[in-house]
């Protein structure tokens, strides 16, 4: 009886041990299977390391088989990334310039294995940060502080070109470079403000002077136009009067003169009359007054027609 119980227990232990072995084998198989493939996310490149050695051929996005435990895949982003940092430099006229800059960049896919081999995955800190500072200092030193303000876009393009020349060999492509803002010393800001005020006052004075000159010129022109118009009117009137006098002179005749005299007669009879014998009688018709009226006659001998 005791032997049977021991046998049963021995068989039970054997079955339990087999079950554990199968479980361990299953877990090991799952672990091996899980390490037999990798998935490269979108916008990334897979850099394959075989026992620590970097393979030159990168993995593209998606599902890939790899040797379990012997191979490891590092995902390197090829998406556009933004690097923002403050920068300090000195301008051509020895003004201290503090600026904030932003760089949009991306890593070319084919260069990912070489980048990982030479620099690693933290290439932003190792390559981009010092290159940005150096290019910014170099560009700033070529321009005065005023030029940095008025030609910001040109300065930004210059820095971008310089960055591309330094980083392109590593497969880093500069998408965009922006100078967010410039900041200068308080003394320089005060000087710039004073200069702007002076320029505005000068512009105002020049504008007012031009307006005054324009008003004076317009007034003089108006006076000249009025004087010319008045002179033309006088000349035209004189010409018309002369023409009328000429016409009147040409139209005068004895009959016209007699007619004009008749038109101007006031109705008073003439005081001197004449006859065929040559006698002229001066009759004062206005002195006739009723019965006391006096007549005066004067006789004048006219030359005989014979």
Residue 161 to residue 67: CA distance in whole angstroms: 43
- 81-184 homologous superfamily: Band 7 domain (3.30.479.30)
Cβ proximity of 162 and 139 under 8 Å: yes
Whole-number pLDDT of residue 17: 58
CB burial string 139-177: b at 16+ within 10 A, e below = bbeebebbbbeeebeebbebbbebbeebbeebbbbbeeb
Whether residue 281 is predicted with pLDDT greater than 60 in this model: the reply is no
Average pLDDT over residues 283-299: 44
Strand partners, 182: 99
pLDDT of residue 299: 41
Tell me, what DSSP letter sits at residue 268?
A: P
43-57, pLDDT tens digit by residue? 899 999 988 888 889
E strands in 206-278: 272-274
Mean pLDDT score, 151-161: 91
Hey, how many other C-beta atoms are within 10 angstroms of the C-beta on 23?
10
Distance CA 201, CA 191 (A): 15
Please give the Cα distance from 270 to 286 (Å, whole number).
11
Q: Tens of pLDDT along 83-120?
A: 999 998 888 988 888 889 999 999 998 889 999 988 88
pTM: 0.53
Decide: 194 and 149 in contact? Cβ < 8 Å.
no
Per-residue pLDDT at 68: 85
Q: What's the mean pLDDT when you consider all of the chain?
A: 78
Question: Quick one: which of 92, 86, 88, 87 has its CA closest to 141?
Answer: 92
CA distances from 105 to 38, 40, 173, 228 (A): 27, 21, 6, 75
Angle formed at CA 226 by CA 221 and CA 230, multiple of 5 degrees: 150
pLDDT digits (tens, 9 = 90+) for 168-214: 989 999 999 999 888 887 777 676 767 766 777 778 788 888 888 88
In the DSSP assignment, the letter for residue 142 is T
Confidence of residue 64 (pLDDT cuts 50, 70, 90): confident
Q: Which two tokens stand for residue 286?
A: 């206005």
Q: Which of 96, 170, 75 is nearest to 130 (CA)?
A: 170
Percentage of residues of the chain with pLDDT beyond 90: 23
């Amino acid at each position: 009886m005791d032997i049977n119980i021991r046998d049963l227990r021995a068989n039970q232990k054997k079955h339990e041990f087999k079950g554990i072995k199968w479980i361990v084998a299953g877990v090991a198989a799952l672990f091996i299977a899980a390490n037999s493939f990798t998935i490269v996310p979108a916008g990334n490149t897979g850099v394959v390391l075989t026992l620590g050695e970097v393979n030159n051929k990168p993995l593209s996005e998606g599902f890939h088989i790899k040797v379990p435990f012997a191979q490891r895949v590092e995902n390197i982003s090829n998406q556009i990334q933004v690097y923002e940092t403050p920068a300090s430099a000195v301008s051509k006229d020895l003004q201290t310039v503090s600026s904030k800059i932003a760089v949009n960049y991306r890593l070319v896919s084919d260069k990912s294995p070489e980048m990982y081999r030479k620099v690693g995955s933290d290439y932003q800190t190792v390559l981009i940060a010092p290159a940005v500072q150096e290019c910014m200092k170099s560009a700033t030193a070529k321009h005065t502080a005023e030029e940095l303000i008025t030609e910001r876009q040109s300065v930004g393009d210059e820095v971008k070109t310089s960055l591309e020349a330094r980083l392109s060999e590593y497969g880093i492509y500069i998408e965009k470079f922006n100078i967010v803002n410039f900041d200068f010393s308080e003394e320089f800001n005060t000087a710039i403000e004073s200069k702007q005020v002076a320029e505005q006052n000068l512009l105002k004075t020049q504008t007012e002077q031009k307006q005054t000159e324009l008003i004076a010129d317009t007034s003089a022109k108006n006076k000249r136009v009025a004087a010319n118009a008045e002179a033309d009117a006088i000349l035209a009137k004189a010409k018309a009067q002369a023409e009328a006098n000429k016409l009147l002179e040409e139209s005068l005749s004895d009959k016209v003169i007699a007619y004009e005299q008749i038109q101007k007669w006031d109705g008073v009879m003439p005081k001197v009359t004449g006859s065929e014998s040559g006698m002229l009688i001066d009759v004062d018709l206005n002195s006739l007054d009723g019965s006391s009226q006096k007549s005066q006659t004067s006789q004048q001998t006219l030359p005989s027609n014979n």
